């Protein structure tokens, strides 16, 4: 005899329906077929609404994301759940789509931040190598002697605590991982706030170089910006005409590490323009252990 189980007994789990294009050449993002309607047990599923616009646009595209159908599913081993899906074929675009039903466990931003820290930071030497490459590139027109990088998170507008950036991005500017994950917990976009390119969680990493800068005893408390020099070191500029030149960040960075004592140096002559910053929001879920991808029965 089956026992009915209420979804409220498991606040961390969700049943999701997801769609994507049928293309095995690469990993696919969520994508809704045109004219999509979804019903669970003959009850309609609310689809995401197209973004508001002042211009009439009958072809406005719905933002594709997982559909949470938890409250529509009957959690009973002897009761079948019926999933009805219809859409308008569009063979000019290929027309083939895949649908899947997923049982997932919702993770909080704190869970993901802890996992990110456990994964370990990107070695400081990796970032130092990128700095040297950027500042020693051959260019007959412009001789760049330094790069200016902000220590203020573009999202929280305060000094970063856990500087991070995606491995897929080429810029040096970081953002605070905790704020990034908190904002993505509200609405999924997973977009880099610096370059506006995809910033998936699996590609996110804490930057050991900038962690060393932020924990350095040589960094003034009122310093919100640093200069990166051609040798991979950095300077803090607290006055218009003078700077403190810092020794290179140690190769290995942990919570207690600091940079070597500073020495005085000459002012930097030039710096690169600051990257334009973009706002961002998001959410995250993971498949539950021993869950199945088969449609619910």
- Six-digit token string for 141: 């027109």
Which of the residues in the chain have pLDDT under 70?
A: 1-11, 56-60, 92-94, 138-143, 238-297
CB atoms within 10 A of CB 108: 13
- Round to whole Å and give the CA distance between 249 and 218: 11
Burial class (CB in 10 A: 0-12, 13-18, 19+), 276: exposed
The CA-atom distances, in angstroms, between 86 and each of 36, 91, 211, 254 are 6, 15, 50, 53
Q: Where are the beta strands (DSSP E) in the chain?
A: 13-21, 37-40, 43-44, 67-68, 83-86, 97-106, 146-150, 163-166, 175-176, 204-206, 225-229, 234-236, 244-246, 263-264, 285-287
User: What is the side-by-side order of every strand in the sheet holding 146-150?
Assistant: 146-150, 225-229, 234-236, 244-246, 263-264
The residues that bridge with 286 in the sheet, in sequence order, are: 105
The pLDDT tens digits of the residues spanning 120-171 come to 999 999 999 999 999 987 665 666 778 999 999 999 999 999 999 999 999 9
Residue ranges of domains in the chain, CATH in brackets: 7-106 (2.60.120.780), 110-264 (3.30.40.10)
Q: How far is CA 270 from the centre of its chain?
A: 31
pLDDT for 261: 37
Residue 209 CB contacts under 8 Å (≥ 6 apart), including other chains: 122, 124, 126, 127, 128, 131, 249, 253
CB atoms within 10 A of CB 100: 13
By the 8 A CB rule, do 275 and 194 touch?
yes
pLDDT for 188: 81
- Round to whole Å and give the CA distance between 70 and 98: 20
CA-CA-CA-CA torsion sign (127, 131, 137, 142): positive
pLDDT for 4: 53
């Amino acid at each position: 005899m089956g026992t009915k189980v209420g979804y409220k007994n498991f606040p961390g789990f969700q049943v999701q329906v997801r769609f994507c294009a049928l293309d095995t050449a690469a990993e696919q993002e969520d994508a809704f077929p045109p004219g999509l309607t979804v019903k669970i047990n003959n009850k309609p599923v609310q689809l995401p609404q197209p973004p508001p616009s002042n211009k009439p646009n009958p072809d406005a595209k719905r933002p594709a994301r997982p559909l949470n159908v938890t409250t529509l599913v009957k959690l009973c081993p002897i009761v079948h759940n019926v999933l009805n899906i219809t859409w308008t074929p569009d063979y000019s675009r290929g027309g083939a789509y895949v649908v899947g039903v997923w049982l997932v466990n919702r993770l909080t931003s704190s869970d993901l931040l802890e996992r990110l820290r456990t994964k370990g930071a990107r070695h400081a030497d990796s970032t130092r190598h990128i700095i040297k490459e950027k500042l020693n590139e051959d260019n007959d027109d412009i001789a760049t002697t330094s790069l200016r990088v902000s220590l203020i998170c573009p999202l929280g507008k305060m000094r970063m605590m856990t500087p991070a950036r995606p491995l897929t991005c080429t810029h040096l500017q970081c953002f605070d991982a905790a704020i990034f994950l908190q904002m993505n917990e509200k609405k999924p976009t997973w977009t880099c706030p610096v370059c506006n390119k995809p910033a998936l969680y699996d590609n996110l990493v804490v930057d050991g170089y900038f962690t060393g800068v932020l924990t350095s005893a040589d960094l003034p408390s009122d310093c919100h910006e640093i200069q990166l020099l051609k040798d991979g070191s950095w300077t803090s500029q607290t006055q218009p005409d003078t700077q403190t030149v810092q020794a290179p960040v140690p190769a290995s960075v942990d919570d207690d590490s600091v940079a070597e004592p500073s020495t005085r140096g000459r002012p930097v002559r030039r710096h690169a323009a600051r990257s334009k910053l973009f706002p961002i929001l998001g959410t995250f879920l993971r498949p539950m252990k021993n869950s199945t991808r088969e449609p619910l029965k």
